Structure 1
């Protein structure tokens, strides 16, 4: 049976720490909502903006526009985030997934996506270290599409028992019969093929294909 979990942009959790302005799809910190704790292995999906020249520092690894970075904290890792430019903020999405195993070796990996629209979904993260893109310690797939027009397609989960969380970064779309606006999210379970129709002006869509059973 199809099961939908709709997260509109408005009720997202929000915190402004001065140096960090964050909008949270799922509950964290003082923002507690039992209906927004997680979607299967997907635990955090934040829209973060770090103020110009602000953050907290440790290393100097730079993430440019269109970059994707994967981090496995594993047995322990030191991490920092800082806006490199002192005259403009940096905006990015921070996403956490619950791993399938604990105490793995800590690691970073990073890639740059091709610039411009491609009118198709591109796998950017998967469980396979030998596949193109990045990999992670979970049976999860992250796909990103940048569309210029009203593209229509279907998506099938990569693995039996997985659910799919769609996050509309930009534009308008209809996903599994639900009309989505910019920054809306929709979790879908029990669907073999998910119908997706991008709006007349296209947009940018993130699909997160994750295990629903964490046992």
Structure 2
């Protein structure tokens, strides 16, 4: 029997540090909700706004896949692997922390704000060699359909991670209907509405709402507005 969980935008955790305003779908930092720890292998879904010229100083991670999707502005990334890159809206970045990596993230602009999603996914292999990846998103491929932007396969579309997870994103006109087929048995899908309004499996969702579905092999999607932008995260529901 299909199961689901709804996380309305207003029920998320939040933090306001002045230069950083964050909303947390799952427990993170000082925000703890025992009913919102993770969705299968999806551990963190943070919706961050970072002020001009500010950011996170160097800090460590290990044994986690860290995915960053800028929505507005750009983030300057520097890490202990020697990577120095700027990731802009319209791109996706992944860092496989593995055995351990330190990095910093800043808004390099003195005039433009930075809005981004930071997502953590549990790895299916411990202590892998740390790795960095980045790519442009294909806006044409995402028009009125879900385009894959992340997978477990280095030779497949999008960036890749050490987990049987697939991310897809789409930008939709009003009244577009789609069926999304879950990629692997035992996976569920967590949908996050970046903008606009949509309906998934008869559940209406608005901007920044999240909706998890599992024990099914597909979901039914309809866009309710002309500015609907949605991220689907297809992840294992069981983690080791």
Structure 1-normalised TM-score?
0.96
| 1:57 positional shift | 4.6
- Residue equivalent to 1:22: 22
In 2 relative to 1, CA 56–35 (structure 1 residues): closer, same or farther, beyond 3 Å?
closer
Matched residues in 1 for 2:118 and 2:156: separation?
23
- Residue equivalent to 1:93: 117
Partner deviation per Cα, 1:47-66 (whole Å, 9 max, x = no partner): 11111001135624101110
Residue 176 of structure 1 pairs with residue 188 of structure 2: no
Partner deviation per Cα, 1:156-184 (whole Å, 9 max, x = no partner): 11000000000011110110111101000
Is the Cα contact below 8 Å between 1:151 and 1:202 reproduced in 2? no
| 1:84 positional shift | 0.9
Gaps of 5+ in 1: none
- Residue equivalent to 1:102: 126
| 1:200 positional shift | 3.5
Residue 155 of structure 1 pairs with residue 180 of structure 2: yes
| 1:41 positional shift | 0.2
- Residue equivalent to 1:190: 215
Secondary structure of 1:123's match?
Answer: strand
Residue 71 of structure 1 pairs with residue 79 of structure 2: no
Q: Greater strand percent: which structure?
A: 2
Is the Cα contact below 8 Å between 2:173 and 2:223 reproduced in 1? no
Q: How many residues align?
A: 215
Matched residues in 2 for 1:74 and 1:97: separation?
12
Matched residues in 2 for 1:88 and 1:187: separation?
33
Partner deviation per Cα, 1:121-159 (whole Å, 9 max, x = no partner): 010000011112110000000000011221101111100
Aligned Cα root-mean-square deviation (Å): 1.3
Matched residues in 2 for 1:15 and 1:27: separation?
12
Matched residues in 2 for 1:129 and 1:109: separation?
10
Gaps of 5+ in 2: 59-77, 79-83
- Residue equivalent to 2:65: none
Secondary structure of 1:153's match?
Answer: strand
Matched residues in 2 for 1:115 and 1:3: separation?
32
- Residue equivalent to 2:10: 10
Structure 2-normalised TM-score?
0.86
- Residue equivalent to 1:37: 37
Secondary structure of 2:35's match?
Answer: helix
